[in-house]
Structure 1
Amino acid sequence: MSAADAPVIPGLEFVRPLGSGGYADVYLYEQQSPRMNVAVKVLKRQGLTAAIRRQFVDEANTMAQLADHPFIVQVFRSEQTADGGAYLVMKYYPPPNLAQRAKAERLTVEEVLRSGIQLASAVETAHRAGIIHRDIKPANVLVSQYGQPGLTDFGIAGRGGHAEDVDEDVGVSVPWSAPEVLYGQSNGDSRSDVYSLAATLWHLLVGRSPFEQPGGDNSAYALMPRIRATPVPTTGRADVPVSLERLLAHAMAKSPDARPQTALELARGLQAVEREQRLPSTSLVVLDELGRTTTADAPATRAPGTEDHDRTSVRAVSVPDAPAPVRAPSGAEVADDEDAPATISGGVVLGVLALLVAVTVGVVVWAVNRGDEEPEPVAVQSTVARTAAPSRAVDYPEQPALDARSAAGSVTFSWNYVGAEKDDYSRLRVAPSEGAVADAGIITVRDGRKYTVKAAAGKPVCAQVEVSRKSGIYSPRSPIRCETAG
């Protein structure tokens, strides 16, 4: 790319090139009124096709639809030129992006958790608008001058679905893509975005993608089989809590059904790790079902003895058929805990009792209406609830260790893991070769931790196992183990 390729844009003054991608170049311009820096993404002329032009227009429309979100890069305008070119004018985020930062420095666990929750806010909001990003990776996360992440490059975003729902291939970034997308079983959905977000956070902790082998073959063809069948490696960092290792492995499960099903669910897990580590709480900002901006935070906790007895905490009631809560002014972020000062004189004891009754009734109404559905954020929270102990991080089962023993006409697989619970059960995949294990059907083992496979003498048998908890969460899968029948 060169300055000569930068288009002349009314009201903007060219400054310098910023970078180049597969089908577009990005330049820094200065907008003259009001005066500020903007980034301009310009379609390359070489290899320009109708599909690429349509993809570029779709990106502009998608980002504009989500432009108000604080963690999605804002698009100011889009133009198509008379000679068939096109450009986007976007908010400028100074270098480096998160890929460059992760390569140059070691990001703290606190920063990765915070960025993960904020990005999950953006992804969940996009999903609620029916938009799947399909290319979440560190290079597509910019950082503002105030340290806030901005998700960008919705160029291959779409409405999701399976591969048969589209009539053309979609390019993907292999190191952070889910196996079902790489192997054409899906064109991407909310669960594949969850996978890519988890792979991005793993990358930020380690400085490389999860299945990249330092000094090894990391071509797309070498990475794809690892992504499909190799268990998610640990980060190898002593300061990364086990709960975060388990959460990332869970979110990068090979089967989409075994992952958190929404970005919001992944964000909740990240918030639980924050609380476990006693880190500052990071807010989630999403659009609710009515299209209103709201926070989706878990209830905040205070250390014992720090509660403010001069304040009463009241949260907006959200139950079926209840009146809508008062909306915040446009563009305002709803606070996680809006504490309203309450001055109570000694002669208004009856008023205090009435307030306590109202709180009790509110909780009862919420309990009656919730049924078997997951409740919205807690409607009413008394000051007593605020002194509760911090919630524990989700207790994912440990990765099982798989063993195999050969016998005449059979191979017996056995496994074990730390922290077994009474109602745990196992899910086993068995195949005649290591490469076929990922496509094998699931065998459920509810009694014991052993399974025998009949096989002809001299024939190999391979297996992989994962543990499932009654609550529906899964352990990371074991390494694949192969043995030859006797």
Structure 2
Amino acid sequence: MLVESRRIRDRYRLLEPIGGGAMGTVWRAQDEKLDRTVAIKELLLPQDHDEHRTEEAKNRAMREARIAARLQHSRAITVFAVLEEEDRPWLVMEYLPSKSLAVMIGEEPATVDDAIRVGAQISSALAGAHRAGIVHRDVKPANILVSEDGTAKITDFGISRAIGDVKLTATGEIAGTPAYLAPEVARGEDADFAADVFSLGATLYAAVEGQSPYGVADNPIALLYKASSGEIVPPEKAGPLTPLLLRMLATEPAERPSMDEVEQELRVLLTDPEPGESVLAATVPDAELPAVPTVPAVVSVPAAGEVTKVSPGARKGLIAVGAGAALLCVAVVVAILLVVRQKPPQDNAAAPPSQESSSSASATPSTTPSPTATPSPTPTPATSAPPISPTVSTVASAKTAGEALTSYYSLLPGKLSTAWNLLTDHFKASKRQTLSTYEGFWSKYSKVSVSNVSESGPGRVTASITYVSKSGGTETNTNTFTLVQVGGVWMIDSQS
């Protein structure tokens, strides 16, 4: 419904509501001073005239604006200003002609490739937020906007403490759904970076599977109970995305990858990345932020945000940017990753971490990759199982991932070529390994054994690996592995 006569601050003309929920209504509006379309969020205040709750709602709007000021990222919706009109807050934001991911997957589940593209963009924004010390706390399909050309952006920063979609009112009533909650948050703990990783994993799971990883429940309380246990329904349609999803949805926060790692792995999985789709840097001011203005502020919108009005339609490829900008992004990314991560890549499966000890030789092959060890452009698990020989029959017949991992190590260090064929292409590419470097590493060891094998989820195995070097030294490390089945054979896909 058009609301032609309603204006805010005699500058913003409200055109039509385009979204909303329990916390407010989002309008498409016209900034008549700058002659541009904007989105304005009208925050709803409590109807019981409770002064404390009213003040809290106003502070929430101010907090969201300040958080937006700290994070300038092309995959996060920009907040231009916060106003107070009609005795309630209004947020003036960047307008992106789009549908929410919730609406899109309600119409039709996404393809795996579409989910990977959206996930790569959103994880980039969240990784930037995490580097800036910001936890989103409310990652879900409804807070992800996707335009017709495939541009995805996350919105709704600024909730100080939220349990996903759950809101406990003064009477204890639960509104919304906890379908995207990390288990620890569902149990009442504060959300942190790892909780954002879980929620993004749950969002991508829902995009391809058509439902929450906790399944379907008749009421929010039952779903909240499922969430608190951390028990998920194993994905069936996620294909090459499955190993990463399982790690993101790990019950224990410490077992989940960082958001930086999520973004990198999603970009490896992209089958047709556009030139501009590299890791994007977030701008984080060094100085303390000034108070958010109470009058509209003019903010430069990233080029990706300047999208003209288009009619809703099918999802397409991502928007391309110039080659010069792409090269600049890559250069910035390399610098950021060197500063932020400051750690070498992990070694190949069955290899202890690189460290100085009397029983170890020089650095492992993964720290000095062979010039020929170039990752495959599409490092997804092989589409068919490797040839099965009598020496690998125990692995092929393993009924569980734990049994398969134990059988894998029984091949080492004697049957290297057979063991090598039990690593997925994705694993080999992520560790930058070739058969030559793999053999070179194992040439230093005379024996390896496995103990304390336990399965923490579908395809996830934690085990203690003991290595005996040819010089007689012994070293034991505990690792968590993700295994996937390819042609009925368990194969190692990742190690942490």
The reply on whether 1:473 has 2:486 as its aligned counterpart is no
Which of 171, 180, 184 is residue 184 of structure 2 equivalent to? 180
Matches within 5 A, 1:427-466: 447=451
Which of 407, 415, 422 is residue 409 of structure 2 equivalent to? 422
The question of whether the paired residues in 2 share the 8 Å contact of 1:210 and 1:232 is answered with yes
* Equivalent position SS for 2:27: strand
- Structure-2 residue corresponding to 1:362: none
Q: TM-score, normalized by length of structure 1?
A: 0.59
With over 3 angstroms needed to count, the CA separation of the structure-2 counterparts of 1:236 and 1:372, relative to structure 1, is closer
Aligned-pair distance for 1:2?
9.5
The question of whether the paired residues in 1 share the 8 Å contact of 2:280 and 2:329 is answered with no
With over 3 angstroms needed to count, the CA separation of the structure-2 counterparts of 1:271 and 1:86, relative to structure 1, is same
The reply on whether 1:24 has 2:19 as its aligned counterpart is no
* Equivalent position SS for 1:447: strand
How far apart in 2 are the matches of 1:465 and 1:106?
Answer: 24
With over 3 angstroms needed to count, the CA separation of the structure-2 counterparts of 1:447 and 1:385, relative to structure 1, is closer
How far apart in 1 are the matches of 2:32 and 2:176?
Answer: 37
How far apart in 2 are the matches of 1:389 and 1:465?
Answer: 24
Aligned-pair distance for 1:198?
0.6
How far apart in 1 are the matches of 2:134 and 2:409?
Answer: 40
The question of whether the paired residues in 2 share the 8 Å contact of 1:6 and 1:27 is answered with no
Q: Aligned AA for 2:265?
A: G
Q: Aligned AA for 1:175?
A: A
- Structure-1 residue corresponding to 2:193: 190
- Structure-2 residue corresponding to 1:8: 8
Aligned-pair distance for 1:183?
0.3
Identity %: 27
* Equivalent position SS for 1:26: strand
Aligned-pair distance for 1:134?
0.3
The question of whether the paired residues in 2 share the 8 Å contact of 1:131 and 1:157 is answered with no
Which of 42, 55, 58 is residue 60 of structure 2 equivalent to? 55
* Equivalent position SS for 1:100: helix
- Structure-1 residue corresponding to 2:273: 280
Which of 250, 253, 270 is residue 250 of structure 2 equivalent to? 253
Determine which structure has greater relative contact order: mean sequence separation of CA pairs < 8 Å that are 6+ residues apart, divided by chain length.
2
Q: TM-score, normalized by length of structure 2?
A: 0.58
* Equivalent position SS for 2:198: helix
Aligned-pair distance for 1:225?
2.9
- Structure-2 residue corresponding to 1:271: 267
How far apart in 1 are the matches of 2:225 and 2:121?
Answer: 31
How far apart in 1 are the matches of 2:62 and 2:68?
Answer: 10
Gapped runs of 5+ residues in structure 1?
161-168, 292-330, 339-366, 376-383, 403-413, 425-444, 452-462, 477-486
How far apart in 1 are the matches of 2:279 and 2:6?
Answer: 38
With over 3 angstroms needed to count, the CA separation of the structure-2 counterparts of 1:121 and 1:419, relative to structure 1, is farther
Matches within 5 A, 1:166-245: 174-184=178-188, 186-213=189-216, 217-229=217-229, 231-237=231-237, 240-241=238-239, 243-245=240-242
How far apart in 2 are the matches of 1:151 and 1:49?
Answer: 26
Query: Residues 63-96 of structure 1: CA distance to partner in whole angstroms, max 9, x if unpaired?
Result: 2322x31100011111123x53110111112342
Query: Residues 163-215 of structure 1: CA distance to partner in whole angstroms, max 9, x if unpaired?
Result: xxxxxx9998511010101101x3111111000011111111122221132xx
Query: Residues 224-281 of structure 1: CA distance to partner in whole angstroms, max 9, x if unpaired?
Result: 23223364323322xx32x421210111111101111x1011122222333xxx4436
What is the root-mean-square deviation of aligned Cα atoms in Å? 4.5
Aligned residues: 338
The question of whether the paired residues in 2 share the 8 Å contact of 1:269 and 1:394 is answered with no
- Structure-1 residue corresponding to 2:143: 140
The question of whether the paired residues in 2 share the 8 Å contact of 1:135 and 1:157 is answered with no
How far apart in 1 are the matches of 2:341 and 2:106?
Answer: 48
Aligned-pair distance for 1:371?
13
